[in-house]
Structure 1
Amino acid sequence: MKRLNILFILGILIITSSINAQQTPAASQSEAITIVGATAHIGNGELIENSLIIFENGILTQVLDATTTKMQYRGTIINAEGKHVYPGFIAPNTTLGLVEIASLRPTDDEDEIGEMLPHIRSLVAYNAESQIVESMRPNGVLIGEIVPRGGTISGTSSIVQFDAWNWEDAAIKKDNGLHINWPNSFKRGKWWLGEERGLKPNEKYAEDILKLSQFFNNSRAYMAGEQKQENLPFKSMETVFTNGKKVFVHVDGEREIVDAIQFKKDQNLKDMVIVGGYDAVKVADLIKAENIAVLATRPHSTPNQDDEDYDYNYKLAKLLSDKGILVGLESSGQMERASTRNLPFYAGTVAASGMDKEEALKLITLNNAKILGIDDRLGTLEKGKDATLFISEGDALDMRTNKLTKAFIQGRELSLESHQTELYHRYSEKYENQKKE
């Protein structure tokens, strides 16, 4: 009991310190801002070497080549010669704001009890004052898709921006997609229950798929009936059937991907996205034929099989893009919340492995925006879109030169300080003083 009390108090202290450390959300844009002279990476593959960018009331009003226009500057003028400007990077399939410290249960809200949970909404559990969320911004990651975990159907995700007081203020697009964790045809032996270690065929694989199909069919029957007794999980499926809500299927194996695509056909799903897609290259033609997008697993991970190329994950996004598939990058996996700040460097690794640099940038800007259904507002530096962007001293896809000097979300200038930058300044000063002694 004493140990539990200590853990509870520790959790409260950590949560409190997290709230106190969070930077105050920026005030609304009060006057026009003009950025002059930067190399503008539009996010759609285009580049403007000497750009003129103007935004007012949180909206981009001009994105031009400064050498060919006589447009008059407006409001505050930022001279960005020699620097680079990018649209805010978009992180899909993340649990940011749902878990602060995995070992402290009071700060972990990514999963619920049950298998079929379409009624679970990640948005209402999102903690806008998370210290981890705050640490995304200094690397240019300004937008995220917040996704629940667990179960066969884990629930619905929402899109948020990373500068808000609460989830209501943070929301950009509510309940953008349903997430399904596709069953695996293999499973690992539970050695603690006396089973053999290692992978072995999942004898209940077909049964697991049947259960998923039955849930979809029962949900349709419920919606078509009188609904005398409310069933929240069934009712939550209505937007999937009637409005074509995106269905994100988390799946990696070749056989599983083929089965998931057949499920899409059987259930007449209008818009399906494969998340992970480790073996997607093996069935790329089928994926392309069904017009399915892929959120490719993060490049900074090792191959699954001993006989695969060491750089397989580095090349996966390019291999799929070369097949004509719409591809974005996601960052789930080990230490996924902290690692999401590395999203631009994942794109940089793809570029270093053969993809054109501006095409690699699209993997975390326009492509991710299209896949998440927010490309009408975000993902590129174009007139009429949200002024969600940042200025970097150098190449933002290179960890050596990704050094932000300014960042804006919907025209609001952000603080780029976080608990990590505070520690950096503290210990830099410490060691500088030691050098002088």
Structure 2
Amino acid sequence: MSDLLRLATAGSVDDGKSTLVGRLLYDTKSVLADQLDAVTRASVDKGLSTPDLSLLVDGLRSEREQGITIDVAYRYFATGKRSFVLADTPGHVQYTRNTVTGASTAQLAILLVDARKGVIEQTRRHAAVLALLGVPNLVLAVNKIDLVGYDEGVFETIAQEFAAHADKLGYPMGSVLSVPVSALVGDNVVEPSANTPWYAGPTLLDHLETVAVQPDPHEAPLRFPVQYVIRPRTAEHPDYRGYAGQVAAGTVRVGDRVTVLPSVVAGGLTTTVERIDTPDGELTEAVAGQSVTLLLADDLDVARGDLIAAADAPPAVTDEFAATLAWLADKPLRTGARVLVKHGTRTVPAIVAAVDARFDEQALSVVDAPDGLSLNEIGLVTLRTAEPLPLDDYADSRRTGAFIVIDNADGTTLAAGLAGTPLPGT
């Protein structure tokens, strides 16, 4: 059975992300005949002589009409070596929030640049976001290489400039693969191109099929956010009390010692896992990504929003912590702002105690004690919550170190937050 790679695309508007994704789908024969027919008809209506492969991804009517990506488009495809979940993210500055969403679970990101433009402001912004989110593998696709005459010098200049920038963000020199591609024509996307005899590296698909993938965090300490308490109270199950949710990290087994957090009892309430239920029957163990119902040996006061964790490696429980925020709202963030913090299945009121620093993703520098954070800015803040939260450091656990900040007035998402994470490159 092939393994799975979660990847995302990023880059500036018109760099060809949707066309590249369409090319991958088309050349790997992952497009149904009726989909291709619909795209061909739409392309003819636009006056094109060949199918516009970007239409395989831009599914919203507004996207097709404007020729841009607005929302995150998820696509699934597979080869004989690996399965893929791909998030095609928008390139416009005002949709940076969608890039954060698409890249938040990615194991690899493809960052596109236009060979005619090179590394630009949005390239650097997206690279900073990818570094902030801890995406472990990064590929630079120098697209539209055909429009610069397949010039090796142009490619090398762009690749070297970006490698130096990525190194400052925490991607060591030599760790970023740069590939000269033409998504429109297909150069070096799936098949090697005769137009770039000077390029000896893998095609984009070859790299995607062979890059080492970090496994799901099965070996990490158990983290199980309780989503729902199941108490049927029927004649058949008069005393049944189960806690439903998805294993966020680690592995849970029958007989494991676990701790329920947060709790009025210092260190939490400790018990053992008595049973693991699913709609298909009982399990002896469940791993990260599985949705199950846990039954505990003791009748504890457990509610939605609580976290069931490994007793020998629990997270810290705190009501004040430092975090990095990617600010996604039009209105700026100021010290003293009252917000909601949603961590796992728990949502609590909070106050922004301080805006400690702002990261300049262009100059890769830090501004101490700024007035606040504006749309698309990244900064370090101190949050104080009304109730304690069981938090991991994001560097240790992407799933349980992440949270979102919500407007307590209208429920809109204001920021993506990463607990305890230093600013990129610092």
TM-score (norm 2): 0.25
- Higher-RCO chain (CA-CA 8 Å, sequence separation at least 6): 1
Give 1 or 2: higher strand fraction. Answer: 2
- If each structure's helix is expressed as a fraction of its own residues, which one has the higher value? 1
